Amino acid sequence: MSWNEEWAAAATCQKSRPDELFVRGAEQHKAKVVCAACPVRAECLAEALDNRIEWGVWGGMTERERRAVLRKRPNVTSWRALLAAAKEAHLEAVETASA
């Protein structure tokens, strides 16, 4: 499974109502559960980080969590590139381990 350019169509949350994903407080934990098994979680997170999306749960992270990531790594110019490389490395490691 490589990087999905058309990630939104494959997102698990397509079956959810938007008001379930754009919530506050403890309700965000329920929204993050939707993301847990999503096949395009990294793509979604990259979209939110690259575009500094401020509201909702994206890629399994709340806006507060995304702001913390952005503060920790202010010099990242492309989260898409970083997360795509990490996803590819992970998939290669999984394939190697199962061979």
- Binding-site annotation, residues for [4Fe-4S] cluster: 13, 35, 38, 44
Q: How far apart are CA 70 and CA 52, in angstroms?
A: 9
CA dist., res. 79 & res. 72, Å (int): 13
Give me the residues paired with residue 61 across strands. Answer: 58
Nearest CA to 7 out of 47, 53, 65, 37 is that of: 47
**Binding-site residue set:** 13, 35, 38, 44
Amino acid code (one letter) for 61: M
